[in-house]
Structure 1
Amino acid sequence: MTRSGVLFYPFHLCHERTLQWLLERYEQVHFRDYMAIQLSPFCGTTAFPERMGDSFPDLLTSKRLVQGYNVSGPLNPDACTAVDRDLTDSTWRALFHRALVENRRFQRGLFDGADITGRDKDGIAEPALMVRLKDVSFETAPFTVAGIRELSRRRPIGKEADLFDYGLALLKTSASLVYTIQLAIAGQLAVATDSRAHFTLLTRLVERTGATIENRSVEQGAA
């Protein structure tokens, strides 16, 4: 084993193969709860009750699996500042857009199946949301936490609705990585993921901030 504990990111669940890979290398594997961000009093992402311990109660009892890190609710000021830094980092934004364009698993973590494959509205076919969001113009469109929050208070339509969806995807991705660093530093944990896109994005974040964190890519994780 390499060190005492590792935090899996950016999700609250992982594939059994990934968990086994981590248990072979660390004494404890830590998991956050599902991240439900509250943007405004009437807009936010939903939370799900599943936890890794539900499927592996023996690991929970033996304390090889640790869970219950709360990352839900409104973003605190420090998190907002950190997310805004990502949103204005052209390198991070380019990595995000490339993942959104090329990585189907990355897409599935941010959007539901209908948004990815397309759907009919009132009998009229329109390009899938994912097709529209792949437009290169989104890569350099300016976003801030405050701006995304303001869009969430309205009922955007058309291009503005697409801007909100793209901005929310940016915010959720960045926030999950910001919380990863905060939890890792607080608990003196390594971090690991089986998502190549998130590994690359967190690597950029660590390089920019100078944080001292062991960041591992789990090659044997879920496809």
Structure 2
Amino acid sequence: MKRVTIVWDWNGTLLNDVNLNCAIMNRMLRKRGKPPVPSLEAYRRIFGFPIKDYYERAGFDFGVENYESVADEYMALYRRDSMDCRLFPGTRQVLFDFKYSGVRQVILSASQRDCLLEQIHRLKIQDAFDEVLALNHCLAHSKAELAEEWMKQNRLSGEDLLFIGDTLHDYEVSRRVGASCLLVAAGHQDKERLLTCGCPVADDIGEAAGWIQEQI
């Protein structure tokens, strides 16, 4: 089990912030006199990367206002309220079981790095990870370049990595670097969407852990 590094996504995979993100989006839409996303199920059908495209699907018009300003507004609301978010049930046990088995674990996230670090320290799981890879801004562009640079610096190949995430973007990043991928259908995109990529899909973190153990 020591040969493979598990590359975890954060938001929606380990951290249960799905309801919060939907609520923030609706708060911002109502502020602009636009209809809210009608349900969590509808949110999970439109969420995706690039984040700018998701904002537009939700109802924002970037011909009228600036995307960067909207992203800053969103991040200010998220950062304040996300500190109350918790891990998905069973996540802490899974992370430390792998750690004590000698498995390297890394977080790769499109989140803003300082916010992510604050979250994992509040949740007291920082010791489970060998590295935390995240962005230094709040625009949530693709994290593929971040993964590629980290792999280059550490002389890793895709065969050394197993990506675990909750969106099609996680699968796209894994394909780009030649790594295996498992998606978890408890996060920001629904299972129906995740199944379209053809990789394994688990219903929750416990099922994901069982699958990972079989692979590594």
Bigger Rg over Cα = 1
TM-score > 0.5 by shorter chain: no
TM-score bucket (shorter structure): 0.3 to 0.5
Q: TM-score if structure 1 supplies the norm length?
A: 0.34
